[in-house]
Amino acid sequence: MATNVYMEALSPTMEEGRIVKWHKHEGDPVKTGETLAEVETDKAVMELVARADGVLGQVAAQEGQTVPVGSVVAVIAAAGEAAGASPRPPATIPAPASVPTPASAPGVAPAVTASGAPRPAARAGAAQAISVPEARAAADATRVKVSPLARRIALETGLDLKLVPGSGPGGRVVKRDLERVAPVPAAAARPATAAASPGPLPLTPAPSAPLSVQPAGASYEDVPLTQIRKTIARRLATSLGPIPHFFLTTEVDMERSAEARDALNRELGDQGRVSFNDIIIKATALALVRHRACNAWFQDDHIRYWNEVHIGMAVAIEDGLITPVIRNADRRSLAEISRAAHELADRARSRRLQPDEYTGSTFSISNLGMFEIDEFTAVINPPEAGILAVGAVALRPAVHDGQLVARRRLRATMSCDHRVIDGATGAAFLRTLKQMLENPLAMLL
């Protein structure tokens, strides 16, 4: 019996995946658990493994191609079975629990083309999707399910349909989805564009992200969103829009933290190096223990106050950012935090983080000090209620013991979700944090 190989949901938020590389090719024997392909998800590059023994065949997704979760990307034919055996309907295969109803019939995936041309094969998939109406089939990178009206509105208003989560049958983008993203303006008083037939959207294949201004050619370049950029867009749009943010800034004297850092590093010798960032993580975690009101998730109908402190640490990576989590940061030593932060950041940059390494944080810190940013505001990472934006530690004039002197100072700005944290609550937390950083010995209390 042939086994379908599905694009699996390799991360909790994954809706589609890009085949980076096939490790096995048509005709290769494969064993259960062996890596078939590397898949770029919205968060990282993950491995797609074989769920059966046999011979790989009917590879339906090419390297570089993006396919929705639940699509059949290949078939594993059982030993003795003709390699070209037609893939059985998905019903015969116990699909992984996280995989929604296969939205595409075998043979659909390869038809995903950059031209966005209509595909008759999609009909079979549509018929299957109907049996489970609540299944929201994910859109792939090059094709968007959209109603004619929504497509027309998007064309006229310049909205990018790929950024709009569809709420219609099978994840179809409908008018109300566009209204959620941006109010659809009332029709302007102008003659009807009767000839403007709503054809397929012009789409371009994905070039690599532009790193610098291209000197020649077109005045602009359209770059399709990478998986991670799409997730960032969606996640952040659910933050600054609906969350009532407010911001609290404080300036912290870092002289004694600097002394502590230097002393600790002398102690550690070649066993590691503690940075300001590590001290800030530790101090934040300890301050959160004392101010549980800031260590919370907003959950629509309730607020979850955490008794554990898991600090999300924003890490810039090549085409986006990700927040790996330092778990129980309040209970870990500075040396441990330093090691964990280092290792997580490295793996984030090489995109090898496991899903449990970047989910579940209770509070986040974003540090742009290395870019010599004095101060900034960060966007809350929902459902968390707060995020700390940390600027550079820099020599600044300060009044110390009645004298104007140059001191190493740092500005930290906390973004608060006002639904959870009130002004005084956030300010009290920030004062504790400031005290800890200005007198690191307080962390021992």
Q: Which residues bind another protein (CB under 8 A)?
A: 133-134, 147-150, 152-153, 156, 167-169, 174-175, 186-190, 192, 194, 197-198
DSSP 216-273: SS-S----PPPHHHHHHHHHHHHHHTTS-EEEEEEEEE-HHHHHHHHHHHHHHGGG--
Could you give the CA distance from residue 387 to residue 380 in angstroms, rounded to a whole number? Answer: 6
How many other C-beta atoms are found inside a 10 Å radius of the C-beta of residue 381?
20
The separation between CA 283 and the C-alpha centre of its own chain, rounded to angstroms, equals: 26
Q: Which is nearer to another protein, 156 or 255 (CB)?
A: 156
Q: Which is nearer to another protein, 187 or 213 (CB)?
A: 187
Per the listing, tokens 């554990």 go with: 308
Could you give the CA distance from residue 384 to residue 404 in angstroms, rounded to a whole number? Answer: 39
Q: Which is nearer to another protein, 175 or 407 (CB)?
A: 175
The separation between CA 89 and the C-alpha centre of its own chain, rounded to angstroms, equals: 32
Q: Report in angstroms how near the CB of residue 168 gets to another protein at its nearest.
A: 8
Could you give the CA distance from residue 394 to residue 374 in angstroms, rounded to a whole number? Answer: 8
Q: Which is nearer to another protein, 92 or 157 (CB)?
A: 157
Indicate the SS3 state at residue 170: helix
Q: Report in angstroms how near the CB of residue 123 gets to another protein at its nearest.
A: 15
Could you give the CA distance from residue 26 to residue 395 in angstroms, rounded to a whole number? Answer: 62
Could you give the CA distance from residue 192 to residue 187 in angstroms, rounded to a whole number? Answer: 10
Per the listing, tokens 């659809």 go with: 184
Q: Report in angstroms how near the CB of residue 443 gets to another protein at its nearest.
A: 47
Closest CA to 32 of 14, 47, 52: 52
Cα 356 to Cα 23, 112, 133, distances in angstroms: 25, 31, 30
Q: Report in angstroms how near the CB of residue 251 gets to another protein at its nearest.
A: 48
Cα 135 to Cα 127, 129, 244, 345, 353, distances in angstroms: 13, 7, 31, 35, 28
Q: Report in angstroms how near the CB of residue 153 gets to another protein at its nearest.
A: 5
Cα 50 to Cα 88, 259, 429, distances in angstroms: 17, 54, 49
Q: Which is nearer to another protein, 107 or 168 (CB)?
A: 168
∠ CA 135-297-316, rounded to 5°: 85
Q: Report in angstroms how near the CB of residue 302 gets to another protein at its nearest.
A: 16
| Cβ burial, residue 236 (10 Å; 0-12/13-18/19+) | middle
For residue 342, indicate whether it is catalytic. no
Q: Which is nearer to another protein, 153 or 345 (CB)?
A: 153
Q: Which is nearer to another protein, 190 or 266 (CB)?
A: 190
Q: Report in angstroms how near the CB of residue 259 gets to another protein at its nearest.
A: 57
The catalytic residue positions are 418
